[in-house]
Structures are given as C-alpha cells and as structure tokens.
Structure 1
Amino acid sequence: MTGVEVGRPRVAILGVGHVGTALARTMLDAGYEVAVAASGDPKKIELIASVLMPGAKAAWARDAVSDADIVVLAIPLHRFSTFDHGMLDGKLVIDTMNYWAPTDGVQSLFEETPLSSSEVVQNTLANATVVKTFNHIGYHEMEEERRPAGAPDRRALGVVSDDPQAAAIVGELVDSIGYDPIVLDSLSDGAAFEPGGPVFGARLTAPEFERAVAVDAVA
C-alpha cells in the first residue's frame, strides 16, 4: 500500500466477498481511504479486513456510507431488494452488480422490465447517483490486470451513468487504479457490460472496447 493520497475521494465498499475485497485492495494500493462493511457488526469482518484488505477500516454500513464520497455496491444482487436503500440518499454509488438468474435466481425486480440492471438500481435509488462499472471484469483479474497509464496492453473498463459529472469522477478512479476508462452516455448503454454483452469478461484495450460497443449499438 502506498498510503492515502490527499484529495482522493473517500470510498466505502458494501460487501466483503470476492469483488469487494479485490476492489478494496486495488483502491488502497492507489492511495484511497477505504472503509468496508457487511450486513452486520463490523467486528465480524475485522479479521477479514486485516488479513485480506490491510489498511481498510471495518465499519457499520451506515457509518461507512455517511463518511464516504463514493459508495461501491458489491453485494450479491439478490440482496439488493431488501437492502436499506435510504442510507444511499445523496451519494455517488458505483454499481458493480450483475443480474444473472442462474446465479441469483429469478429476481422479478430485474426480470420483468426492459431496462438494464443498473437502470433498475438507479430507479430504486432515486435519491442517489448511480454509475455502473467493474461488473464486466472478473474479481480475480482486478489486481493482476492493472497497468500504468500509456501501457500498450492497458485494459479498458466501461463506465456509464445518466450523470456526466459522476461518470467523470468514477472514470478518474478507474484510471488511477490502472485501467483505461471508456465513458459512455447513459446507464442504458451499460447493457453492453452485462452477461451476454460484447465486453463482458473480455480483455480489451480502449480501441478494441470502443469498437465492440459501437458494433453492438448498431446491431
């Protein structure tokens, strides 16, 4: 860990599974202050945090969110419907989740709609600002795939939001941890990042990523 860099947004990660812990490590390594929370008492995850995410602060979810500039939703999507949505009011929220019925079971909130999963999340979190990213890269790749800016093999990650300023902020975070952010216009474009989409699970450079989503948009 390089230490916290002054001026970096404070990050709260909700969920300490594979995705949450991998993101915590990459953000800590990039100089972000990171708090992590699960669904209950932070004492239950203090050991996990100290071993798997050294430098991250284990906290109650509401406290972690209250102190954060950016909140990362890294919970299993099937838990989203019963999640305390109100605690995210006024927050910039990164949605890393995917709707995948074989894994999560059929979720009517996401199944019975033409919207992308992050559009559903945004509609549910009406008083928050949702940005979708990190959902189309495997948790096991998040650390090993990082590259410095300008590296010819630097991997691209998609970023979408209905709020351009929020997308720009998250794009800066994506860049700072070692990836080229490709910012698209709206959350509806995030369907390309979902399971079955043209960039889901694919290791693409920025030009390759842009071509893939452009072809998908006209298909």
Structure 2
Amino acid sequence: MSRRWNTPRPRRVPPSMTTLGIIGSGRIGANVARAAVAAGYHVVLSNSRGPATLADLVAELGPRASAATPAEAAAAGDLVLVAVPLGKLEQAIPAEALAGKVVMDANNYYPQRDGRIAALDDNSKTTSQLLQDLVPGARVVKAFNNIYAAEIPLHGSPALTPDRRALPIAGDDVAAKSLVAAFLDAIGFDAVDVGPLEESWRVERDTPAYGRRTTRGELAAILPTVERVNQV
C-alpha cells in the first residue's frame, strides 16, 4: 500500500516561542542548544547532576543561556527537548512540569546501554510512545534522533537552499509538529513528517535514514522502503 509522506513547509517561529528548555545536556542537548542560541533563542539547560555542572557550557553559549533544574527548564521552555538515555527516562523527567508542553524526544533504543525493554523488543511501542506514556499531559514529537550530535550546529542552512538537510519528525498532535517544524526551520533544517508516534520507528537506530544526510525529497523517498525488524 502506498503512502504519501507529508513534507510540511515550516512556518515562521511565533514571536512568543523564544525559550527552549533542555532536559539532558549531553551531546545532543548541548548541540541543539548551540544551534538554538545561534538562531536567537534563549535556552535553559538542565541535567541530573545540578546546574553548577553546566557552568562551562553556559559560559560558552553566552547570555542567552542559563542552567536550572529539570523542572525549572521544563517550566521555562516554550518548547522542551528531552535528551536523556532511555533507561534513565522515568527518573530524569519532571512529568508534572511537562504538562501542557510540546516535548521533543531525541531518544533511540540501545539495549546495551538501556537494558532490555520488552515493549521495544516486541515492537509493541516506539521510544517516543514510551515517553508519551510517562508524560500524558504533554504533546511529544520525535526529533533529532537520526542526526549525529556534532552535525546539529554545523549542517543547518537557510530556507530554500537546494540541498538543505531534512530531519524527520513524528507525533500525534498536528499543532505540536508544526511548532517543532518551525523550530527546525529556524535552526536551518527542513522537516519531513513521518506520521504519528507509532510510525517513528521508521527513522530509529539501524534504519536507512539513521545518521544519513538527506534532503526533504530524499528522506521522503526512503521512508516507504523501511521494514520493521524485531529488536531481539
């Protein structure tokens, strides 16, 4: 059965969408922060070890960056990125503070790091669905999981650049996906809508789109060819 893959043209970032909250400031979180600051956003960084451990990163990023607790970063963000290892997700996220937020999920499943997760091994869930289950009051959108962290602040380019890189997104809420697509556009990427969270497996670890630099058209062409395999 053929399917038309949506490739939304992101809208301009609303003026009120000026702050990105980041929960997990490792490689993905730090590099998304670099790209966001370069695009004019404020970022509020957090990790499990406390704001003081982020002093060097905040100093590097400059006056648009600050450090806080995860709950404070979630509360401050007009948009929130969750980039913590999957096995630590339940302990790391402030579920109540994320209620009502649009939350970008950057996770992939690595059993050697995360331990075995039955719902992922038997393909009854995706990683983003697991996060959505933990934060039922939030609107989760898969993003940033198929690009190497160091490439995030380097591969962005202006809108309509012929070979502009595209990143996949997936989510159950159309408005939330539109907001994330607008953020991607602001930091230099096109967005390709994979569909609902249950379809986000198409761009997860070991799929043809994982880690591959593609344009909007190239990514849309790959998606129908992906086959789901059992994780065990």
Q: Which residue of 196, 199, 203 maps to 1:193?
A: 203
Query: Could you say which residue in structure 1 is the equivalent of 2:75?
Result: 66
Query: Could you say which residue in structure 2 is the equivalent of 1:25?
Result: 34
Residue 84 of structure 2 aligns with an amino acid whose one-letter code is: I
Query: Could you say which residue in structure 1 is the equivalent of 2:10?
Result: none
Q: Which residue of 127, 130, 134 maps to 2:137?
A: 127
Answer yes or no: is the 8 Å Cα contact 1:162–1:186 preserved in 2: yes
Residue 137 of structure 1 aligns with an amino acid whose one-letter code is: I
Offset, 1:109 = 5.8
Mapped partners of 1:48, 1:145: distance in 2: 21
Residue 198 of structure 2 aligns with an amino acid whose one-letter code is: S
Query: Could you say which residue in structure 2 is the equivalent of 1:9?
Result: 18
Question: How many residues get paired?
Answer: 214
Q: Secondary structure of the residue that 2:226 maps to in structure 1?
A: helix
Query: Could you say which residue in structure 1 is the equivalent of 2:4?
Result: none
Offset, 1:106 = 2.1
Query: Any stretches of 5+ residues in structure 2 without a counterpart?
Result: 1-13
Query: Could you say which residue in structure 2 is the equivalent of 1:213?
Result: 223
Offset, 1:113 = 5.1
Mapped partners of 1:195, 1:36: distance in 2: 26
Query: Could you say which residue in structure 2 is the equivalent of 1:82?
Result: 91
**Residue-by-residue CA offset, 1:5-62 (whole Å, 9 max, x unaligned):** 94333210111111111000000111111110112431222223213x3331111221
Q: Secondary structure of the residue that 2:88 maps to in structure 1?
A: helix
**Residue-by-residue CA offset, 1:77-102 (whole Å, 9 max, x unaligned):** 11102233233122111001111113
Q: Secondary structure of the residue that 1:184 maps to in structure 2?
A: strand
Q: Secondary structure of the residue that 2:137 maps to in structure 1?
A: coil
Answer yes or no: is the 8 Å Cα contact 1:156–1:180 preserved in 2: yes
CA pair 204-80 structure 1, distance change in 2 beyond 3 A: same
Same amino acid, percent of matched pairs: 30
Mapped partners of 1:157, 1:48: distance in 2: 25
Residue 98 of structure 2 aligns with an amino acid whose one-letter code is: L
Offset, 1:200 = 0.8
- TM-score w.r.t. structure 2 length? 0.85
**Residue-by-residue CA offset, 1:129-174 (whole Å, 9 max, x unaligned):** 1000100000011122111111111111011100011001100101
Query: Could you say which residue in structure 1 is the equivalent of 2:173?
Result: 163
Mapped partners of 2:57, 2:169: distance in 1: 29
Q: What RMSD, in angstroms, separates the aligned Cα atoms of the two structures?
A: 2.1
Offset, 1:103 = 3.2
- Please give the residue correspondences for 1:28-39 in structure 2 after superposition, counting only pairs within 5 Å: 28-39=37-48
Offset, 1:75 = 1.1
Residue 72 of structure 1 aligns with an amino acid whose one-letter code is: L
